Structure 1
Amino acid sequence: MATSRAPIASPFPPPSSTVSRGPIRSAPRWASDLPRPVQLRLASLPCCVWLAAGLLPCAVVAAPSLVWSDEFNQPENSSPDPAKWTHDLGAGGWGNRELQRYTNLQENSRVVADPAALDGRALAIVARHSAPGEFTSARLKTQGKFAVTYGRIEARLKLPRGRGLWPAFWLLGESIARLGWPACGEIDIMEVVGHEPARVHATLHGPGYSGGQGLSASFTPAADVPLGERYHVFAVDWFPDRIEWSLDG
């Protein structure tokens, strides 16, 4: 399977990061094109963090070990495991002019049967257009439950398709409550905008380079096939001196 990898040197001190997922960040001009409903699916090995003991630039590194994962193999229609995940709730744009209201309702995030998933189960994050101007979705995070500095972080995702959609998988500095954003740091592992369904964006945010001035890179897989056609593994390998992004690697 082909691998795409894009390294970006990290200029900010590494924050301990929690894992966040927000499936829909919609720009108003595309709102009328939003399907009903649309789904982001997370299947087996959705968020595996691999840490190497004694990880130093010049050290001999031991084999990595799995320290956290969620396979989403609970019974169908279960909510995400509350021991691992917290829902962000509410509306207000979230700093990105987002149109949806995030909920913890099962209609927006639940375990479903999926024959394309490795173990037949997946977490479906569903965006719904319930009324004119009214959108709901789900945004999940590990804040207060799990954080990591350095290692491999990956998710096996099947992305939604449609103009106006903005699925994302990212790390946010654990110090956000104390320092605020962007001082806490942010690593965007994957963002795909709806009108470019085959292009992956990766970005670093920190003091002096945030928002539209973030350090970013993007790439299109050689086949130029929309990423919503099947599951893909999106990952970063986070080292003290660099961060490497990969797709299906």
Structure 2
Amino acid sequence: MKFNTIVKAFTIFLICVGCKSKSTLIWEDNFDGTTLNEKYWNFELGDGCPNLCGWGNNEKQIYTKTNHELKDGFLHINIKKGANNYSSTRITTKGKKEFKYGSIEARAKLPLAKGLWPAFWMLGSNISEVGWPRSGEIDILEYIGRKPNTVFNTLHFQEQFGDKAYTKTTEIIGIEEGFHVYAVNWSPDKISFFVDGKELFSYNPTLKNKNNWPFDQPFYVILNTAVGGNLGGNDIDDHLFPQKFIIDYVRVYSH
């Protein structure tokens, strides 16, 4: 039995990753059972067309409801190469589980192939009203197979987005080996990123406004793996397919 499935019946108090004080666990998904809990998660399907072809990043994959499985308490996002396409899974908590501030973390194991782009990230819940990047984006984990031993953490907002986003890459030797905990600690004043409890970098503008700090509203969680695209790159190693992005859990703590 997975350790994180032992206690669920009552509120849990513990030291969260990247926090110096105790926090309250307010939501988690341990991916138990055999079916994704659609009270928490939505599937985003297809190739993004007609409104956002390539999902806005020239990605090569289509997203389906069949490229995932729950097995032994883990979510497996299966990335496959077909005869004429690539396929993967993208799920979100939009409209179901949205959070304003706190510590958000996932324990996950990365897929290993050039051209893959696994991610654990968040978007502002008002994206349908104001669009991107005004909604804001928090990229807790991005990894690309063409740049091993490297983790990307990024914030997108009106003043800095896309190729000019507020971002940092961190070399972590062995990040491809086994499971690691990827986390963000988000307060009204500051956003900080962590891997395995080690702080990588922070964002804390002195003067906050809607153009540099859309992070004062609820955000929702996204898990996916893209193939190719602007960050993943078009040099895709087809010989290493299929691959898996494996997620042990997602947890959210209040401050």
**TM-score higher than 0.5 here?**
yes
Secondary structure at 2:149 match in 1? coil
2:57 match: secondary structure = coil
TM-score normalized by the length of structure 1: 0.68
Q: Aligned residue for 1:241?
A: 189
Percent same amino acid among aligned pairs?
39
Mapped contact 1:79–1:109 kept (Cα < 8 A) = no
**RMSD, aligned α-carbons:** 2.1
Is the counterpart of residue 104 in structure 1 residue 65 in structure 2? yes
Q: Is the partner of 2:56 in helix, strand or coil?
A: coil
Runs of 4+ residues over 6 Å off in structure 1: none
Alignment of 1:43-122 (within 5 A): 63-74=22-33, 78-91=34-47, 92-105=53-66, 108-113=67-72, 121-122=73-74
Would you say the 8 A contact 1:127–1:135 is kept in 2? yes
- Residue identity matched to 2:63: Y
Which amino acid counterpart does residue 66 of structure 1 have in structure 2? L
Q: Secondary structure at the match of 1:94?
A: helix
Structure 1 residue 62: deviation in Å?
7.7
Task: Establish whether residue 130 from structure 1 lines up as the match of residue 82 from structure 2.
Answer: yes
Distance of 1:189 and 1:152 partners within structure 2: 11
**Distance in 2 separating the partners of 1:155 and 1:189:** 9
Distance 2:107 2:22 in 1: 22
The runs of 5 or more residues in structure 1 that have no matched partner are: 1-42, 53-60, 114-120
Letter in 1 for 2:45: L
Deviations 1:49-79 (A, max 9, x none): x9x9xxxxxxxx98411111000111xxx23
Taking structure 2 as the reference length, the TM-score comes to 0.66
Tell me which residue corresponds to 1:205: 156
Q: Distance in 2 between matches of 1:138 and 1:129?
A: 13
Of residues 73, 78, 98, the one that matches 1:147 is 98
1:4-56 CA distance string (max 9 Å, x none) = xxxxxxxxxxxxxxxxxxxxxxxxxxxxxxxxxxxxxxx959xxxx9x9xxxx
Count of residue correspondences: 178
The AA in structure 1 aligned to 2:83 is A
1:118-147 deviation line (CA, Å, top 9, x unaligned)? xxx200000111113x11100010001011
The CA deviation string for residues 186-241 of structure 1, in whole angstroms up to 9 with x for no partner, is: 011010111112100001101121110100011112xx12x231000000000111
Unaligned runs of 5+ in 2: 6-10, 14-19, 48-52, 198-255
Matches within 5 A, 1:169-248: 169-221=120-172, 224-225=173-174, 227-248=175-196
